[in-house]
């Protein structure tokens, strides 16, 4: 049995273009699940109106690299050279200790790493595209991909799909409404366990 004073950690991961963010937004808005996002850390400068600790934890490059060295992140990524984003362990642990249920929207490798660290107190869900063909159509319809980036994303997606068995649950996002319902049911069960 889970300690009911302690929140649950929900991890959603998927290849780019699989509809993960759409599903998360639907669960928060339509299904009104009691989930909060952990505030990520970054070394990029704040944009106008962004507040430290609300939109992001803004760290200098030195602070971010020091936090990596000290293993203060449950996951982090160098999105492009010199630009980091990550989830601080202290951010997750303080929210979970307050009984908040936290949802993480992570890349596939990040999702696997966080699940390993939190074990049974985390529920990991892999959002699967119905097929590589459908994924290709979704990525192409965004209009943001060159033939090279499209090919790279599809190759990465195939690799990420091979990692799906490492997740607790797999939801195929063929019909969005069904995928939202299935994911919501998994999350509800996790929050009740």
Q: Is residue 3 part of a domain?
A: no
The residues of the chain scoring below 70 in pLDDT are: 1-5
Domain span at residue 129?
9-192
Q: Is residue 44 part of a domain?
A: yes
- pLDDT score of 129: 92
- pLDDT score of 1: 38
- pLDDT score of 87: 94
Q: Is residue 4 part of a domain?
A: no
The enclosing H or E element of 75 equals strand 73-80
- pTM equals 0.88
- pLDDT score of 2: 43
Q: Is residue 18 part of a domain?
A: yes
Q: Is residue 1 part of a domain?
A: no
Q: Is residue 91 part of a domain?
A: yes
- pLDDT score of 31: 87
Looking up residue 30, the CATH number of its domain turns out to be 3.40.50.300
Count of structural domains, the chain: 1
Q: Is residue 72 part of a domain?
A: yes
């Amino acid at each position: 049995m889970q300690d009911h004073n302690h929140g649950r950690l929900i991890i959603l991961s998927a290849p780019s273009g699989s509809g993960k963010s759409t599903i998360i937004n639907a669960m928060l808005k339509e299904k009104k699940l009691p989930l909060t996002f952990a505030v990520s850390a970054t070394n990029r400068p704040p944009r106008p109106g962004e507040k430290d600790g609300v939109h992001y934890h803004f760290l200098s490059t030195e602070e971010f690299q020091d936090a990596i060295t000290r293993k203060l992140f449950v996951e982090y990524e160098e999105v492009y050279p010199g630009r980091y984003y990550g989830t601080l362990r202290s951010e997750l642990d303080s929210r979970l200790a307050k009984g908040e249920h936290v949802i993480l929207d992570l890349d596939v490798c990040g999702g696997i790493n966080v699940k390993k660290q939190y074990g049974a107190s985390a529920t990991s869900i892999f959002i699967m595209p119905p097929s590589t063909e459908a994924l290709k159509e979704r990525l192409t319809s965004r209009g943001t991909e060159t033939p090279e980036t499209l090919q790279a994303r599809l190759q990465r997606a195939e690799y990420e799909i091979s990692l799906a068995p490492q997740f607790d649950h797999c939801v195929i996002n063929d019909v969005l409404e069904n995928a939202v319902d299935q994911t919501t049911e998994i999350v509800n069960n996790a929050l009740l366990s």
